[in-house]
C-alpha cells in the first residue's frame, strides 16, 4: 500500500494515523474487559490520607488532556491542589455553600433523591484526600493582547476530558468523586484563575479509606440506556 508518512490537506500537514486494528475475537475480549473494569468504578466519599506522587497526578492530567475538543482548542485547565492550607480554605468555602444549599437552596424532592447516597453538607474529604483537581473550563481564550478568542463546544469538551480523567483515576487504582459545590465561583477566587476560566468540577483523588462502604446502587441494563437501529 502507498503510505506516506504525511500528506497536506488545505495547506496543513496530516500525519499517518497509528491504527490499532484487532481481530474480531480480540475486539470483543478487549471491549468486555474494559466494561468489566469500569463497571467496578464507584464514587467514593471517604479517603485515606496516604500520599499520591505528583508524577501520577501529572500523568492523569496528561491523559485527560488527550480528550477531543471543539476545533482542538483544549479549553480546560486542571488545577491540582495538595497544599494543606489551600485544601482547608477550599473545604471551608465549599462547606459554607453546601450549608446554604442543604438548608435552603435544594428542594425537598432533591434531598429525598439524595437520601440513598448518604450525602450531607460536611465535606471532610476536601482536606483528607491528598489531591484535589479542580477542572476549569475556558469560556474563551485570551490572546497575547488580552483579546477574546473563541472556543467551541466548551461544556462538551470539558465534560469529555473530565470523563477521561475519572477513567484514568480508576485505572490507576485510585478513587474520586464528581463534587460540584454550588455555586463554585469561590474556586476561581481561591486559585487566582484568570477571568476567562469558570470552575467546572472538583475531584478529590486518593486511596479509599479501608474499609469503605458505598451505596448499593444498580446500573440501568443495556435495554434501558440503548436503542439499536439496524
Ligand atoms: N452538591 C451537594 C449535593 C449533591 C447533589 C447531587 I445531584 C449529588 O449527586 C450529590 C450531592 C453535595 O455535594 O453534597
Task: Kindly report, residue by residue over 127-182, the tens digit of the pLDDT.
Answer: 999 999 999 999 999 999 989 999 999 999 999 999 999 999 999 999 999 998 88
Atom of ligand 1 nearest to the CA of 181: 1
CA of 226 to the centre of ligand 1 (A): 26
- Does the pLDDT of residue 51 top 70, yes or no? yes
Q: Taking residues 212-226, what's their average pLDDT?
A: 97
Q: In testing the pocket of ligand 1, which one of 42, 43, 95, 101 has its CB within 8 Å of the most ligand atoms?
A: 101
Q: What is the pLDDT of residues 94-116, one digit of tens each?
A: 999 999 999 999 999 999 999 99
Distance from the alpha carbon of residue 151 to the mean position of ligand 1, in angstroms = 29
| SS (HEC) of 8-70 | EECCEEEECCCCCCCCHHHHHHHHHHHHHHHCCCCCCCCECCCCCCHHHHHHHHHHHCCCCCH
Fold of 45-210: NADH Oxidase (3.40.109)
Q: Are strands 140-142 and 148-150 parallel, antiparallel or unpaired?
A: antiparallel
Per-residue confidence (pLDDT) for residue 62, from 0 to 100: 99
Q: Find all residues with CB under 8 Å of 198, minimum gap 6, and list them.
A: 136, 137, 139, 184, 185, 188
* CB of residue 114 inside a 6 A radius of ligand 1: yes
Query: What ipTM did this prediction achieve?
Result: 0.93
Amino acid at each position: 500500500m502507498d503510505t506516506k508518512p504525511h500528506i497536506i490537506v488545505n495547506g496543513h500537514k496530516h500525519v499517518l494515523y497509528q491504527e490499532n486494528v484487532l481481530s474480531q475475537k480480540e475486539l470483543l475480549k478487549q471491549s468486555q474487559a474494559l466494561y468489566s473494569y469500569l463497571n467496578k468504578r464507584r464514587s467514593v466519599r471517604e479517603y485515606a490520607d496516604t500520599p499520591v506522587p505528583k508524577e501520577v497526578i501529572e500523568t492523569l492530567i496528561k491523559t485527560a488532556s488527550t480528550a477531543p475538543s471543539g476545533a482542538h482548542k483544549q479549553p480546560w485547565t486542571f488545577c491540582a491542589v495538595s497544599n494543606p492550607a489551600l485544601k482547608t480554605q477550599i473545604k471551608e468555602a465549599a462547606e459554607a455553600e453546601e450549608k446554604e444549599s442543604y438548608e435552603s437552596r435544594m428542594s425537598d424532592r432533591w434531598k429525598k433523591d439524595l437520601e440513598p447516597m448518604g450525602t450531607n453538607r460536611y465535606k471532610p474529604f476536601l482536606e483528607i484526600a491528598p489531591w484535589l483537581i479542580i477542572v476549569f473550563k475556558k469560556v474563551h481564550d485570551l490572546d497575547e493582547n488580552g483579546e477574546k478568542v473563541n472556543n467551541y463546544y466548551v461544556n462538551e469538551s470539558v465534560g469529555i476530558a473530565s470523563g477521561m480523567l475519572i477513567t484514568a483515576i480508576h485505572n490507576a487504582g485510585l478513587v474520586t468523586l464528581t463534587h460540584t459545590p454550588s455555586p463554585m465561583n469561590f474556586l476561581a477566587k481561591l486559585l487566582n484563575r484568570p477571568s476567562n476560566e469558570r470552575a467546572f468540577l472538583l475531584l478529590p483523588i486518593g486511596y479509599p479509606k479501608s474499609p469503605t462502604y458505598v451505596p448499593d446502587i444498580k446500573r440501568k441494563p443495556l435495554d434501558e440506556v440503548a436503542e439499536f437501529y439496524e
